[in-house]
Structure 1
């Protein structure tokens, strides 16, 4: 169930109504968090579920989440943790499915090489690059969101961007 559907259902049953600041936060950040999760997880369907779950958890804990320095970073991390746990559970229960069965939104042709280069990065590097570049987080915000030291964020970002530059350079030479 989408977060906004949950909010509407809660309002119909007389449960706590969402505050205007949560509605504004949701509207401003849900697409950014979804895109960041889609890039990091490389699965649009899983990213959508993770974003919905994370936003639902943010709504449930809004009194605390809204006081954080970067609530969107918290939502991203919760979504990434949820997806990782979900993926592990699914793989224990059945073998991995062919990824070509899962729909993906296609990027413009000019972005294909960059997206492939990003997709080839190990998940920890991809998560840092996503936070720093797509979510426009600072090094400190990324460290908090991913539970890392700032030095680790800097080194993963440096290595990830270097690998992407190399891949893009190879493509240009070809």
Structure 2
């Protein structure tokens, strides 16, 4: 008699591998656009004390947002490489339970990290917009670009979170 309550092999259908690869590509695209958008964000305004140039690096929350984008981008590049190989060859690079655990926990950690960067960007944009508006300094396009970048980062979070759901399906099933 065969005991079916022990360990089953992780599911790794071609369809789920392809969907996971698509999610990683979409995350890559949204993080790249978010990075470009916030990195080029600067504006010069006239004030009573003279000309003021504000850049993303002048706002700490935007610098945090960029760091989350860069770290998420690096992780996503690694996962893209690890996802392309199984789709092409049918074999995983990281074999055994450790590879599935790395995918699952990596996706979980990075997705929440991306979410925190997005929240920081949205919060800073709103707070700074109100502050500069009270000073009669028109920086609408600067903060709109920051909001757009935070929105794209939020979409990157969503794709990574969905990818973590797919990687959870591949975890070994224990009785």
Indicate whether the TM-score tops 0.5.
no
Whose RCO is larger (CA < 8 A, sep 6+)? 2
TM-score (norm 2): 0.28
Query: 1 or 2, which has the higher helix percentage?
Result: 1
TM-score (norm 1): 0.28
Query: 1 or 2, which has the higher strand percentage?
Result: 2
Greater C-alpha Rg: 2
